Amino acid sequence: MLLFNCFPDRMLDAKALLDEFKTVDADGSGLVSFDEFVRYYGEMLLPQAHQNFDEAADMFAFFDADHSGQLEAHEFLQLLHNVFPTRCEENEAACSREFAVADTS
């Protein structure tokens, strides 16, 4: 949902959203690491990426409550709710769906 809301012209349907999540989760772990998040965020906002790096890093660090360097489902959901507070139900459904698909273990 975050990907869809931030970059709506890149997300056409649920399959496109899942494909985009797989793009962000470059190592296939089912989690979005800090490096993966920043890389993707930067690619999507070029040439403004250098201006937004600090904002992205601060946002990621704030929602990485356990300081693991990865956003778990509940942490990512908190981020979504903060960025898109009027779409909480959509955020929950999308996050649940995406993490269920990504969590192969």
Q: What pLDDT does residue 41 have?
A: 74
pLDDT given for residue 80 in this prediction: 83
* 30 or 10, greater pLDDT: 30
This model's pTM is above 0.85:
no
% of the chain at pLDDT higher than 70: 72
**pLDDT (tens digit, 9 = 90+) per residue, 34-51?**
888 878 877 776 655 555
**What is the dihedral angle through the alpha carbons of 26, 32, 77, 15, rounded to the nearest 10 degrees?**
10
Check pLDDT > 80 for residue 14. Answer: no
Q: Could you give the CA distance from residue 2 to residue 26 in angstroms, rounded to a whole number?
A: 17
